[in-house]
Amino acid sequence: MLIGCTDDWVRCLAALDAGLRGRFRTSLPDAAVIAQLVDKGGLAAALRDAGVPHPETRLLESESDLETVSDALISSSFLKPVDSQRFGPVFQAKAFNVTSREDALAKFRKARAAGLQLLLQEYVPGPPTNHYFVDGFLDAGGTLRGVFARRRHRMYPRDFGNSSYMTSVPAREVEEATAAVQQLFRHTGYRGIFSAEFKRDQRDGVFKLLEVNVRPWWYVEFAARCGVDVCYMYYLDALERPVPSSSQYRAGQRLVHAWCDFKAWGERRRAGDKAWWDHWGAWLGSHRATFSWDDPLPAVAMTLQAVTRKAAGLFGRRGR
């Protein structure tokens, strides 16, 4: 039984031929479904066709595509990669902020020079606490066997980053979002693990779907600790065994990604916010994303990597 933990590996597993699928079991839909959902342009088209609320999104295939976009839309949008897995290592970012049409054009050219394609997506206004995640699992019959909801409280970097502090919330708080992601998956015929990111638009209160991961995400263990073990569900479904439904989990649980949240504090302090207890007090009683007493090496390795990168940056600047 194989679980792909990156977009590329999920693509590979979904594309296995019939002979290999018999030897290496997966809980995945057809390769075409995975290709559409992993590709951000394909996802935008699927959301539009399924009638799921989402930010206005336009695929930029050439510079002329930017010419057809109004100044108002450009000023309220950002540039987002079609392939996040390749964009991140090149630009050390999740997306590009844009300040003007000229800025958008310059960044579009930079991405094209690196062989990467971009989308122009409307920025949904509101603080990090307006971000919600609906995680879960659909079995081979398309039945939603588990759902887990969490709310973001902090992120790093502030605009386009990863969650550094979050809490599990009752499923009833995100019923509208859960219905939307089910609508998307019925339309596409998806099966397997998922994590869908929504932002509640402060202008109208609607949950807008921003991203979908069709694989285990960073914080999949947190869902299991709270009572929704999607990886075990995947295992059962891959082996064609019955998958029990999991409708109950512990709400109010907190999770901190220590290194991300440490950097989030630095960003917060530089912005003039000195509410240290509001920040550090959240660590008390929280789960840790990368540390466990019975398996400490991942946390040690991540800390060493972070310190090494920081030192390399400092010495590099001094050398110049």
Question: For the segment 189-224, what is each residue's pLDDT rounded down to a tens digit?
Answer: 999 999 999 999 999 999 999 999 999 999 999 999
Q: Is 46 left (phi over 0), alpha (psi -120 to 50) or beta?
A: alpha
181 inside domain:
yes
203 inside domain:
yes
Same domain for 75 and 176?
Answer: no
Contacts with 319 (C-beta within 8 Å, 6 or more apart), sequence order: none
Longest dimension (CA), the chain: 61
Phi, psi (deg, nearest 5) at residue 37: -80, -30
Same domain for 78 and 185?
Answer: no
CATH code of residue 92: 3.30.1490
pLDDT of 93 above 80 = yes
Which of these three, 122, 148, 169, is where a domain ends?
A: 122
Same domain for 33 and 179?
Answer: yes
Same domain for 75 and 184?
Answer: no
Model confidence band, residue 31 (pLDDT cutoffs 50, 70, 90): very high
Instruction: Please give the pLDDT value at position 271.
Output: 86
pLDDT of 320 above 70 = no
- Give CA separation, 82 vs 13, 44, 120, 219, in Å: 20, 10, 10, 23
Instruction: Please give the pLDDT value at position 304.
Output: 87
Same domain for 172 and 245?
Answer: yes
Which of these three, 67, 100, 122, is where a domain ends?
A: 122
71 inside domain:
yes
Total domain count for the chain? Answer: 2
Same domain for 135 and 227?
Answer: yes
Residue with tokens 């920025």: 123
Mean pLDDT is lowest, of 31-35, 80-84, 226-230, 272-276, for 272-276
Instruction: Please give the pLDDT value at position 131.
Output: 97
Same domain for 185 and 220?
Answer: yes
80 inside domain:
yes
Same domain for 105 and 248?
Answer: no
Amino acid identity of residue 46, one-letter, is A
CATH code of residue 17: 3.30.470.20
Would strands 287-288 and 254-256 be described as parallel, antiparallel, or unpaired? Answer: parallel
Model confidence band, residue 134 (pLDDT cutoffs 50, 70, 90): very high
Same domain for 136 and 98?
Answer: no
Domain range spanning residue 62?
Answer: 56-122
Which of these three, 255, 271, 292, is where a domain ends?
A: 255
Same domain for 130 and 66?
Answer: no
33 inside domain:
yes
Q: How many CA atoms lie within 13 A of 10 on its CB side?
A: 26
Whole-angstrom distance, CA of residue 22 vs CA of residue 30: 15
Instruction: Please give the pLDDT value at position 18.
Output: 83
Burial class for 19, CB neighbours closer than 10 Å (0-12, 13-18, 19+): exposed
Instruction: Please give the pLDDT value at position 295.
Output: 85
**Mean predicted lDDT score pLDDT of the chain:** 92
Would strands 254-256 and 162-169 be described as parallel, antiparallel, or unpaired? Answer: antiparallel
pLDDT of 105 above 60 = yes
